[in-house]
């Protein structure tokens, strides 16, 4: 139900004057498009640093067999079910991809993909935005990173969030997307409804209970606030908007905020009748994630860190099962380790050393993240029956990505672990390797070679297509590039012509997966 | 928008030896958006005048180095459009407004304080340190202008939460406000009168008749809606109506944002008296103008230079300025990056290195507080000039553990004159524990050097080369930390040498006479890979530092402090940072570097820091309405 003070009335302004705003896609007649998609959900889980040796991260190479020639390389594939083994009650794909068989079941396994050979082909160093396509969100500790500051983009979760294809009807949706953690990995326009304003980081919820309230009790947080009062507040903004002394830039900021008030008004009218059962049998979460972070030991207690994310997973999956949201990003800067020193200096940047001491700690931490967070989310999704023989996991795409590849800050073969078939949009059960093994180079001081893969933009485009979008739905969504995939395509100077074969195919969905 | 700083930005542990790129000839990459600029060799944000960079000091808002040069302002500064109140400003403004609406006993009540801590803190997004788009470290929270959906909702929740809490008391509160000379119950004219009385504080300007009509319509609509459902219940209807007015005022853009439209009659860039009053108050006190400042705005006298200056001085002298100064020193000195000191207690070599001293869990917080208090003390408590602050040996901490690090057996009680450190090696700000301690057994000369270069000399570092592989200098059983860093980063002809040898490392080496807890030392214990001490080596803090294009030999932190002060760059950098903080934006280097240079010179001439605050607020730039630009 739309608020009484509609966008149309506001846009036509006081005295009937038309306000100069960009065309609002939501006001255009919607093209009749037969939807063949189920209500797909997207969850992205990102972890810091990476630096996990390939031998720890990926299944054994010997399992891979030539699948086809693509982009001038032999891409290789293996069935996960043929690779996995069991050991001591665990199901094992690799040292990191190991989990208790009761959770890491054959069913979950069959719905996973292990993807190797997608690269961010320039020096991005520390970043939060690279996972989902805002490459500008990096620390600028490199010429390439500084260069990319000029190309901020919404992340793909936000492209989905504001897509009429992904969300043809938001009448029962409380939040188009949610972000969890202490910082977000999600970026969008300051005024997402009209796709205008600067690209800014999305607000991240550090409290799973607050997130629960936002999703399940959206109108209860505001006391006696009602739509009529918000209408009056919007009127007040409109009066200021009409002031002739107001600059156009100031006016844009006002317009952005009015959009937020419209959304607030919408939330006041929402009545959520879905009442899932939470852990312990209650109608709300028994514990708040934020309470864990107050402990002085949380940041070196992997069990507490895992619990933090499981509390979010509980709320997110419950909300998705109720259709209250369909997109969530979980950005973790936890170590998932009891290491008490400086993780960044003592582990992440020592993990390449041949003695393997730091690597062992690093790999173990990533295994905990896999088992405690990734598999937990997959399990929860798979426990939701959506009918017709499917579960929410079948209808969803859960993605785990690292900040770096096998060598911290280098972004060849950044691991991508997925679960879920995206409602039929993605094939599952595969270990795929897109690297061009004939173009490898030696890395001084590191036992692994650098091997170029396909570019990250192609992976992002594949996700968007798997979730039901056509390239035309998203290629205009960013300040970017026409060469395909999602986001600006840039190849760092140090790579020369290494990725020349990968660029022409960047707009195609990844073979084997789609 | 400016990228956010994160704790991991201190990843300047550069080791440059491994080559991680394929052996390819350097070619321009494919163009991205057709700008045709090729590869990123524009990464030079190098400071003008420093050794070997050859780049200019940066145009736009990159905060270029404080070099002398031609000072002919060109162009015009821009401001971020329609700035919202910062987190601190909003919180304080709400508290003050509540005092107006509901009485000071409520505005200063435990209830309100409790609500902020227990409920609303999680709702209202925190501000993050924000600087220029190219700046990846430091920045000021009050420059954060991101607005989220959560801001709109938090403002609504807080407004309604406050209004609702006293729902059944609004009528009485209003009666009390007017000393029972009027009651809104049954008397709409009293509501009108109340709106006119309290509305100006919410709007921070006089209400127009249009404003009054608007809020009366809020009252009427709410009143009528309640009566329609509850005939005859005038009391509740009146209460709810006034509650709605309270909430609507607190949610209005004039309350939640710094609305600056200027005085069109006086010129394009002239602020009105009320806008000026708000600027002053939100800068110095981080809250709305008080009654005296509003009165000066109401009668226009604030536009008189003498009255304006008197008000500036009054604000500076008030204790409320300390809170804003605390924020300034926190952000300028990046105190939130001071690591916890207790994480490695119980491990080697940390326990051996600590040598009987056990860092507490709150030591890093005490270090941060000490830095804040130092700044506040020298600025407003016992104002001194900048040099005295920079060289200060006062120890303003009540934390026993921190006092011990300064050689004091008893911390300061907070009364009387603060003690001075007993360490002759201390050289002021550069040797404050919070700027030296690392939370490990090893010092970090590179991080110290980057901090000094960027935060204390305002010379942004160019980004590392793309082939860098950031590897932390590993502790050595044969080399001191300095020697390890030199071995890694100063290899002749390497891509690391240029910046590390000239810009970064020397600034860090000069304070190697202090260990990783900030204690003075002459020897560095060497540990093997098991954390077992295997020897010791003499600390070497002699080095050559480049400042403003000149090389200076320094023996220790004292010499470095002197060099930084004598160059004028430390003064100029402080001035630049104060300028940013005061104006709530990055400086426009083309047009405002001259002003900042003059401010630096004033500091160098001995101007006390409180007078410096006054000077900044007297600048034409502070009183001018810049044209809005992009984020």
**Closest partner CB to A190 (pick from B147, B221, B253):** B147
Nearest-CA neighbor of B379 among B574, B514, B573?
B574
- Kindly determine whether residue A151 and residue B33, on different chains, have CB atoms separated by under 8 Å: yes
Contacting A residues, span 57-86, partner chain B, CB-CB under 8 Å: none
Nearest-CA neighbor of B389 among B416, B371, B411?
B371
d(CA B375, CA B100) in angstroms, rounded, equals 32
Number of Cβ within 10 Å of residue A217's Cβ equals 14
d(CA A503, CA A481) in angstroms, rounded, equals 11
- Kindly determine whether residue B133 and residue A441, on different chains, have CB atoms separated by under 8 Å: no
Asked if the C-beta of B274 comes within 8 angstroms of chain A's C-beta atoms, the answer is no
Asked if the C-beta of B470 comes within 8 angstroms of chain A's C-beta atoms, the answer is yes
**Closest partner CB to B264 (pick from A245, A261, A494):** A245
Closest residue of chain A to B31, computed from CA coordinates: A490
Residue B389, Cα to own-chain centre: how many angstroms? 18
pLDDT tens digits, one per residue of A20-43: 333 333 332 222 222 334 589 999
pLDDT at residue B466, as a whole number: 67
pLDDT at residue B139, as a whole number: 94
> Across-strand partners of A433?
A76, A116
What's the whole-number average pLDDT of chain A? 88
Mutation to test the A interface, candidates B221, B253, B348, B496, most A Cβ within 10 Å:
B253
Q: Are B63 and B587 within 8 A, CB to CB?
A: yes
Q: How far is A448 from chain B (nearest CA, A)?
A: 10
Q: What is the CA radius of gyration of chain B?
A: 28
Written as six digits, the tokens of B165 are 């809490």
Asked if the C-beta of B244 comes within 8 angstroms of chain A's C-beta atoms, the answer is yes
d(CA A21, CA B471) in angstroms, rounded, equals 49
Asked if the C-beta of B347 comes within 8 angstroms of chain A's C-beta atoms, the answer is yes
Please give the helix or strand (H or E) that residue A199 lies within, else none. strand A196-201
> Across-strand partners of A418?
A113, A399
- Kindly determine whether residue A250 and residue B628, on different chains, have CB atoms separated by under 8 Å: yes
Asked if the C-beta of A437 comes within 8 angstroms of chain B's C-beta atoms, the answer is no
**Closest partner CB to A224 (pick from B33, B164, B339):** B164
Q: What is the CA radius of gyration of chain A?
A: 23
pLDDT at residue B8, as a whole number: 29
Nearest-CA neighbor of B135 among A154, A190, A141?
A141
Could you write out the DSSP letters of every residue in A44-68? EEEES-----HHHHSPPGGG-EEEE
d(CA B365, CA B342) in angstroms, rounded, equals 12
Q: How far is B367 from chain A (nearest CA, A)?
A: 18
Contacting A residues, span 293-322, partner chain B, CB-CB under 8 Å: 296, 300
Asked if the C-beta of B495 comes within 8 angstroms of chain A's C-beta atoms, the answer is no
- Collect all residues of chain A within an 8 Å Cβ-Cβ radius of residue B32: 151, 480-481, 488-490
SS3 assignment, position A430 = strand
pLDDT at residue A35, as a whole number: 31
pLDDT tens digits, one per residue of A209-245: 989 998 999 887 777 788 888 888 999 999 999 998 8
User: Helices in B178-320 by DSSP H: which ranges?
Assistant: 188-203, 209-229, 234-251, 253-256, 273-284, 291-298, 305-317
Q: Are B50 and B68 within 8 A, CB to CB?
A: no
Could you write out the DSSP letters of every residue in B307-321? HHHHHHHHHHHSTTH
pLDDT at residue B20, as a whole number: 53
Q: Is the pLDDT of residue A480 over 60?
A: no
- Kindly determine whether residue B167 and residue A224, on different chains, have CB atoms separated by under 8 Å: yes
- Kindly determine whether residue B157 and residue A149, on different chains, have CB atoms separated by under 8 Å: no
pLDDT tens digits, one per residue of B427-466: 999 999 999 999 999 999 999 999 999 999 999 888 777 6
Q: Residues near B232 by Cβ (< 8 Å), separated by ≥ 6?
A: none
Mutation to test the A interface, candidates B7, B13, B33, most A Cβ within 10 Å:
B33
Q: Are B260 and B613 within 8 A, CB to CB?
A: no
β-strands A430-433, A416-419: how paired? unpaired
Residue B421, Cα to own-chain centre: how many angstroms? 27
- Kindly determine whether residue B22 and residue A450, on different chains, have CB atoms separated by under 8 Å: yes
Q: Is the pLDDT of residue A263 over 80?
A: yes
d(CA B212, CA B192) in angstroms, rounded, equals 7
Written as six digits, the tokens of A432 are 């795929």
**Residues of chain B under the 50 pLDDT cut:** 1-19, 24-68, 631
SS (H, E, C) B534-600: EEEEECCCCEEEEECCEEEEECCHHHHHHHHHHHCHHHHHHHHHHHHHHHCCCCCHHHHHHHHHHHH
SS3 content of chain A, % helix, strand, coil (to 5): 35, 15, 50
Closest residue of chain B to A261, computed from CA coordinates: B152
DSSP class of B127:
P
Could you write out the DSSP letters of every residue in B426-461? --SGGG-HHHH--SSSS--HHHHHHHIIIIIS--PP
Asked if the C-beta of B123 comes within 8 angstroms of chain A's C-beta atoms, the answer is yes
Residue A156, Cα to own-chain centre: how many angstroms? 7
Asked if the C-beta of B414 comes within 8 angstroms of chain A's C-beta atoms, the answer is no
Please give the helix or strand (H or E) that residue A241 lies within, else none. helix A227-241
- Kindly determine whether residue B465 and residue A441, on different chains, have CB atoms separated by under 8 Å: no
Contacting A residues, span 336-355, partner chain B, CB-CB under 8 Å: 340-342, 344-346, 349-350, 352
**Closest partner CB to A480 (pick from B4, B33, B133):** B33
Number of Cβ within 10 Å of residue A238's Cβ equals 18
SS3 assignment, position A433 = strand
pLDDT at residue B77, as a whole number: 81
- Collect all residues of chain A within an 8 Å Cβ-Cβ radius of residue B40: 143-144, 146-147, 493
Nearest-CA neighbor of A51 among A389, A365, A498, A376?
A365
d(CA B144, CA B137) in angstroms, rounded, equals 14
pLDDT tens digits, one per residue of B91-120: 999 988 888 777 777 666 777 777 777 778
- Residue A326: C-alpha distances to residues A201, A203, A279, A329 (Å): 19, 17, 21, 10
- Kindly determine whether residue B122 and residue A223, on different chains, have CB atoms separated by under 8 Å: no
Asked if the C-beta of B34 comes within 8 angstroms of chain A's C-beta atoms, the answer is no
- Collect all residues of chain B within an 8 Å Cβ-Cβ radius of residue A437: none
Whether the ω angle into residue B60 lies within 30 degrees of 0, i.e. cis, is no
Mutation to test the B interface, candidates A345, A440, A455, most B Cβ within 10 Å:
A345
d(CA B307, CA B313) in angstroms, rounded, equals 10
Written as six digits, the tokens of B337 are 């990056």
**Closest partner CB to B81 (pick from A222, A223, A250):** A250
Written as six digits, the tokens of B423 are 């360490």
Nearest-CA neighbor of B503 among B553, B544, B564, B555?
B544
d(CA B365, CA A427) in angstroms, rounded, equals 51
Q: How far is A302 from chain B (nearest CA, A)?
A: 15
The count of C-alpha atoms lying within 13 angstroms of the C-alpha of A481, restricted to the half-sphere facing its C-beta, is 25
pLDDT at residue B164, as a whole number: 77
Cα B507–Cα B509–Cα B510 angle in degrees, nearest 5: 70
Q: Are B628 and B82 within 8 A, CB to CB?
A: yes
**Closest partner CB to A444 (pick from B19, B27, B133):** B19
pLDDT at residue A226, as a whole number: 83
CB pairs under 8 A between A and B: 285
Cα B483–Cα B488–Cα B491 angle in degrees, nearest 5: 100
Mutation to test the A interface, candidates B138, B147, B494, most A Cβ within 10 Å:
B147
Q: Residues near B135 by Cβ (< 8 Å), separated by ≥ 6?
A: B2, B3, B5, B62, B63, B460
Greater confidence (A332 vs B180) lies with A332
Q: Residues near B249 by Cβ (< 8 Å), separated by ≥ 6?
A: B97, B198, B199, B202, B203, B215, B255
- Residue B384: C-alpha distances to residues B302, B325, B375, B380 (Å): 28, 15, 10, 8
Asked if the C-beta of B491 comes within 8 angstroms of chain A's C-beta atoms, the answer is no
Written as six digits, the tokens of B371 are 């830095």
Number of Cβ within 10 Å of residue A423's Cβ equals 21
């Amino acid at each position: 139900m739309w608020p009484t003070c509609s966008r149309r009335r506001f846009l036509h302004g006081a005295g009937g004057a038309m306000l100069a705003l960009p065309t609002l896609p939501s006001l255009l007649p919607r093209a009749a498009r037969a939807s063949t998609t189920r209500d797909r959900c997207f969850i992205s889980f990102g972890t810091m640093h990476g630096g996990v040796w390939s031998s720890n991260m990926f299944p054994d190479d010997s399992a891979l067999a030539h699948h086809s020639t693509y982009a001038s390389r032999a891409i290789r594939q293996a069935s996960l079910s043929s690779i996995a083994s069991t050991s001591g009650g665990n199901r094992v794909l690799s040292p990191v991809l190991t989990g208790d068989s009761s959770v890491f079941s054959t069913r979950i396994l069959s719905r996973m993909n292990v993807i190797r050979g997608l690269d961010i082909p320039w020096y991005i160093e520390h970043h939060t935005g690279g996972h989902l396509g805002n490459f500008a969100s990096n620390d600028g500790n490199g010429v390439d990173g500084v260069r990319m500051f000029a190309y901020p983009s919404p992340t793909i979760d936000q492209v989905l969030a504001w897509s009429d294809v992904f969300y043809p009807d938001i009448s029962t949706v409380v939040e188009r997307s949610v972000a969890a953690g202490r910082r977000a990995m999600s970026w969008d326009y300051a005024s997402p409804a009209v796709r205008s304003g600067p690209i800014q980081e999305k607000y991240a919820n550090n409290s799973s209970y607050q997130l629960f309230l936002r999703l399940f009790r959206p109108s209860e947080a505001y006391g006696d606030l009602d739509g009529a009062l918000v209408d009056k507040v919007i009127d007040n903004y409109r009066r200021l908007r009409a002031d002739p002394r107001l600059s156009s830039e100031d006016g844009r900021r006002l317009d952005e905020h009015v959009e937020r008030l419209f959304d607030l008004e919408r939330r006041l009218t929402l009545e959520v009748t879905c009442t899932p059962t939470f852990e312990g049998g209650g109608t709300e979460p028994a514990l708040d994630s934020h309470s864990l972070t107050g402990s002085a030991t949380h940041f070196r207690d992997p069990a507490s860190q895992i619990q933090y994310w499981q509390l979010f997973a509980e709320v997110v999956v419950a909300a998705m099962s109720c259709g209250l949201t369909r997109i969530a990003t979980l950005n973790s800067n936890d170590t998932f380790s009891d290491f008490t020193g400086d993780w960044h200096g003592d582990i992440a940047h020592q993990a390449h050393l041949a003695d393997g001491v730091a690597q062992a700690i690093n790999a173990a931490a990533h295994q905990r993240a896999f088992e405690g967070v990734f598999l937990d989310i997959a399990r929860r999704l798979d426990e939701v029956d959506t009918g017709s023989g499917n579960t929410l996991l079948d209808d969803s795409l859960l993605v785990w990505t690292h900040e770096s590849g096998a060598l911290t800050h280098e972004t060849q073969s950044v691991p991508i672990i997925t679960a879920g078939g995206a409602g039929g949009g993605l094939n599952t059960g595969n270990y795929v390797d897109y690297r061009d093994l004939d173009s490898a180079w030696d890395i001084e001081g590191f036992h692994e070679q650098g091997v170029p893969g396909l570019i990250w933009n192609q992976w992002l485009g594949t996700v968007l297509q798997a979730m039901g979008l056509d390239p035309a739905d998203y290629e205009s969504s960013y300040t970017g590039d026409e060469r395909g995939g999602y986001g600006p395509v840039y190849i760092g100077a140090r790579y020369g012509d290494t990725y020349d074969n990968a660029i022409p195919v960047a707009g195609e969905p990844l073979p084997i997966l789609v | 928008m400016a990228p956010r700083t994160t704790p991991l930005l201190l990843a300047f542990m550069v080791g440059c030896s491994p080559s991680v790129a394929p052996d390819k000839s350097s070619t321009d990459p494919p163009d991205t958006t057709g700008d045709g600029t090729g590869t990123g060799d524009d990464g030079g944000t190098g400071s003008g005048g420093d050794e070997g960079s050859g780049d200019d000091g940066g145009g736009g808002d990159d905060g270029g180095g404080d070099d002398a040069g031609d000072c002919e302002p060109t162009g015009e500064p821009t401001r971020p459009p329609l700035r919202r109140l910062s987190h601190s400003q909003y919180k304080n403004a709400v508290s003050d407004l509540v005092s107006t609406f509901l009485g000071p006993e409520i505005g200063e009540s435990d209830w309100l304080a409790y609500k902020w801590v227990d409920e609303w803190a999680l709702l209202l997004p925190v501000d993050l340190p924000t600087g220029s788009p190219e700046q990846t470290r430091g920045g000021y929270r009050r420059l954060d202008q991101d607005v989220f959906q959560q801001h709109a909702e938090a403002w609504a929740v807080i407004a309604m939460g406050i209004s609702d809490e006293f729902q059944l008391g609004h009528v009485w509160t209003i009666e009390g406000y007017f000393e029972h000379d009027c009651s809104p119950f049954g008397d709409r004219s009293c509501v009108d009168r109340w709106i006119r009385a309290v509305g100006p504080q919410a709007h921070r300007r006089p209400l127009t008749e249009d404003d009054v009509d608007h809020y009366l319509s809020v009252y009427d609509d709410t009143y009528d809606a309640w009566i329609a459902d509850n005939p005859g219940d005038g009391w509740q209807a009146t209460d709810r109506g006034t509650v709605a007015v309270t909430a609507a005022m607190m949610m209005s853009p004039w309350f939640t944002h710094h609305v600056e439209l200027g005085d069109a009659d006086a010129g394009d860039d002239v602020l009105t008296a009320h806008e000026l009053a708000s600027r002053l108050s939100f800068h110095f006190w981080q809250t709305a103008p008080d009654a005296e400042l509003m009165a000066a705005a109401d009668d226009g006298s604030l536009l008189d230079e003498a009255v304006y200056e008197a008000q500036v001085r009054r604000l500076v002298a008030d204790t409320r300025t300390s809170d804003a100064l605390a924020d300034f020193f926190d952000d300028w000195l990046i105190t939130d990056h001071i690591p916890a000191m207790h994480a490695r207690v119980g491990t080697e070599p940390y326990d051996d290195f600590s040598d009987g001293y056990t860092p507490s869990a709150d030591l890093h917080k005490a270090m941060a507080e000490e830095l804040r208090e130092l700044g506040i003390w020298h600025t407003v408590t016992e104002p001194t000039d900048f040099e005295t602050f920079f060289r200060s040996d006062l120890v303003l901490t009540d934390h026993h553990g921190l006092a011990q690090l300064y050689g004091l057996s008893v911390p300061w009680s907070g009364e009387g004159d603060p003690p001075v450190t007993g360490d002759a090696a201390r050289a002021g700000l550069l040797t404050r524990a919070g700027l030296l301690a690392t939370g490990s057994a090893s010092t970090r000369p590179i991080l110290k050097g980057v901090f000094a270069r960027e935060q204390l000399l305002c010379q942004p570092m160019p980004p590392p080369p793309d082939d860098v592989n950031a590897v932390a200098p590993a502790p050595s059983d044969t080399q001191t930390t300095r020697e390890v860093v030199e071995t890694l980063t100063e290899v002749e002809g390497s891509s690391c040498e240029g910046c590390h040898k000239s810009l970064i490392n020397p600034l860090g080496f000069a304070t190697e006479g202090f260990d990783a807890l900030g204690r003075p030392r002459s020897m560095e214990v060497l540990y093997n890979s098991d954390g077992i001490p295997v020897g010791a080596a003499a600390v070497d803090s002699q080095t050559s530092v480049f400042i403003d294009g000149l090389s200076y030999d320094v023996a220790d932190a004292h010499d470095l402090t002197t060099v930084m002060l004598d160059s004028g760059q430390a003064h100029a950098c402080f001035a630049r940072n104060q300028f940013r903080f005061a104006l709530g934006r990055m400086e426009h280097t083309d047009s405002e570097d001259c002003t900042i240079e003059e401010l630096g010179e004033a500091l160098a001439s001995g101007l006390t820091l409180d007078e410096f605050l006054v000077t900044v607020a007297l600048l034409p730039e502070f009183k001018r309405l810049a044209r809005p630009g992009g984020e």
